Structure 1
Amino acid sequence: MKRSRATSPPSISAAAKPPLTPPATPILKQKLQKTGIPKWFPLKLTQTELTLPLTFPTGQTFRWKQTGAIQYSGSIGPHLVSLRQRPGDDTVSYCVHCSSSPKAAELALLDFLNAEISLAELWSDFSEKDPRFAELAKHLRGARVLRQDPLECLIQFLCSSNNNIARITKMVDFVSSLGLHLGDIDGFEFHQFPSLDRLSKVSEDELRKAGFGYRAKYITGTVSALQSKPGGGNEWLLSLRKMDLQDTIAALCTLPGVGPKVAACIALFSLDQHSAIPVDTHVWQIATRYLLPDLAGAKLTHKLCSRVAEAFVSKYGEYAGWAQTLLFIAELPAQKALLQSFSQSHENSHKDL
């Protein structure tokens, strides 16, 4: 998904917004335990269960980079890994570039990919409930919902507020660069996401100078709020995985800069809240076109956001967030063009009969 889940802001001149600059504080380097020549191993997920271009560049995370034709690389905790698919090959392979334990890296990767959830079973269930979903699923297989570290996900979506993908990515890269350097792949630097303690040492002024604008106070305010939580902010965030969705959303919305839409993104992409529906104008259009046609032309309000979320859950059940993810992806320009080409090929084949 795009998953900034917001329209692009008005264009701003370079003079008004200075380009992002390297962090003022030194970047720490750790002694890397590299694996030497990259060795690729099959992952326990076929292309039906994971299609990389339908998962990584769709706005769930802004920390993974495309480092090959169908290859994406990123860090999961202290592990630097790559995933790739080759044309005509139904398997997904992974490579561990840096880790203290390759086995631990594999387990962390599978957890990050929500590998225990069967996409085939979900897609079958959704397809029975919705003929349109069944048609889309034929061509858009393998779009998974990720299970990210909650702090990492939270900071990313604070950067996404009223922003565009290019600028979100630059902001997230800046924050990421404050963490331990893990290695370089295809010209990209990769870092372990900075700890809450490291983030607390970054001032609002430093972030503003780096081009974060008003989001700077949200990040520093949220970091401060998390540090004040009993037991620590990381434990507090992880505890939200065990709560009901509405309580999770309400808890997240107590943090500076987190509204219902951002909270739903964090809940869906990091907190095991599989029925969370991040509602923006794009999802609103999908809902009024296919689920709530009687509301077409109405103005999206907070009350209607709740109604949209309820409509998705009523239609698709406890994993409604996964269904909405694919429907959202189907509306992205690249996927719409792909679906149109499939449709034209289908029409042409019928004409030839």
Structure 2
Amino acid sequence: MEKGNYVLNSVEDFDVGQTLECGQCFHFKKIDENEYGVVAFGKLLHIKQENNFIIFYDTTEEEYENIWKNYFDLDRNYSEIKKYLLKKDNKLKLAMDTMWGVRILNQEFFEILISFIISQNKQIPHIKQIVATISRKYGNYLGKIGEEEFFGFPSCERMSDISLEDLKECKTGFRAPYIMDAVSKVCDKTIDEAILKAANMNVCLENLQQIKGVGEKIGNCVMLFGLEKREAFPIDVWIKRIMEFMYFEGEVSKDEIAAFAKKRFGKYGGYAQQYLFYYGREMKMGK
């Protein structure tokens, strides 16, 4: 099928920049205002938003239907999610109104697992640099957008051939042994994506924590962004500050926050977390 520009119009509750820049993915580059190069599932996408139009450059309708529609979660009714959450808690309204276009991406499990292991004690630009370096060194070349080159994230099998020293040369630091352990456990099916998706939250998290360096925060990120478990509520320093600022009179434990979020937001905890995380970061709340 010949490629062309696939255009969507009047898409509600979706802003490309907000969705990509909100800290849930790391394999993209900003080309211009509201214009990005995105790598996922071994494909390169050139995407741009102009008012209510979303332009998927050099994309067939089949690619959009089979890859990008699900990747950007465009089949889901976010208006209903927002209504549900606002009934539970109207304190979210300002965050939702400000970050109205954030959607939770449906990303590749293995890349998300490695990316969030890398994320420990790293800022988003640094995480993106390391993901880009690993992809450039060991992934497949996918093409160019302007002068920018893009590479796919390497498979588990390809990464099993990478030495500890090679990983450290990619600036992974103390995370290199954790990455190697994750690669080993995914390749030998000790950690199996299908089993994790079918498991309940507690069992899934327990399994993920078998991997060295994976604690509750990283495990919840992987469940939310790589395993479609939308009730997951990752708690990092930002979320802890924001939740304390909005819901508690002073400092509380992460366990208290997790219990509160589970009771307050329920099955849509992950959506509430994304609105709060991005909003709090943009507004510099809790500093």
TM-score, reference length from structure 1: 0.75
- Maintained 8 Å contact 1:71/1:82: yes
Structure having the larger proportion of residues in helix = 2
- Maintained 8 Å contact 1:79/1:96: no
Q: CA deviation at 1:104?
A: 3.2
Deviations 1:152-181 (CA, angstroms, capped at 9, x unpaired): 101111111111222211110112121111
Q: Distance in 1 between matches of 2:86 and 2:150?
A: 38
Aligned twin of 1:140 = 99
Q: How does 1:117-196 map to 2 (within 5 A)?
A: 117-177=76-136, 178-196=138-156
- Maintained 8 Å contact 2:22/2:102: no
Q: Distance in 2 between matches of 1:194 and 1:105?
A: 22
> Partner of 1:40: helix, strand, or coil?
strand
- Answering whether residue 18 of structure 2 is matched by residue 62 of structure 1, we say no
Which residue type is aligned with residue 91 of structure 1? F
- Answering whether residue 261 of structure 2 is matched by residue 297 of structure 1, we say no
Deviations 1:53-82 (CA, angstroms, capped at 9, x unpaired): 211012111101112211122122232212
Q: Which is further off, 134-143 or 211-220?
A: 134-143
- Maintained 8 Å contact 1:114/1:145: yes
RMSD: 2.1
Q: Distance in 2 between matches of 1:63 and 1:202?
A: 20
Q: CA deviation at 1:307?
A: 2.4
Which residue type is aligned with residue 221 of structure 1? D
Q: CA deviation at 1:139?
A: 3.1
2:177 to 217, 225, 233: 217
Q: Distance in 1 between matches of 2:210 and 2:58?
A: 38
Distance 1:188 1:255, change over 3 A: same
Q: How does 1:204-353 map to 2 (within 5 A)?
A: 204-229=164-189, 236-293=192-249, 296-298=250-252, 304-333=253-282, 336=283
Aligned twin of 1:96 = 58
- Answering whether residue 22 of structure 2 is matched by residue 42 of structure 1, we say no
Distance 1:332 1:317, change over 3 A: same
TM-score, reference length from structure 2: 0.91
- Maintained 8 Å contact 1:42/1:93: yes
Q: Which runs of 5+ in 2 are unaligned?
A: none
- Maintained 8 Å contact 1:79/1:105: no
Aligned twin of 1:201 = 161
> Partner of 2:20: helix, strand, or coil?
coil
Q: Distance in 2 between matches of 1:78 and 1:238?
A: 20
> Partner of 2:21: helix, strand, or coil?
coil
- Maintained 8 Å contact 1:53/1:70: yes
- Maintained 8 Å contact 1:119/1:142: no
- Maintained 8 Å contact 1:45/1:91: yes
> Partner of 2:144: helix, strand, or coil?
strand
Deviations 1:226-271 (CA, angstroms, capped at 9, x unpaired): 22226xx5xx123211211111111111012211111111110111
Q: CA deviation at 1:92?
A: 2.1
Q: Distance in 2 between matches of 1:292 and 1:241?
A: 33
Q: Distance in 1 between matches of 2:10 and 2:255?
A: 34
Q: How does 1:81-92 map to 2 (within 5 A)?
A: 81-86=45-50, 89-92=51-54
Q: Distance in 2 between matches of 1:136 and 1:159?
A: 28
User: Which protein has the larger Cα radius of gyration, Structure 1 or Structure 2?
Assistant: 1
Identity value in percent:
25
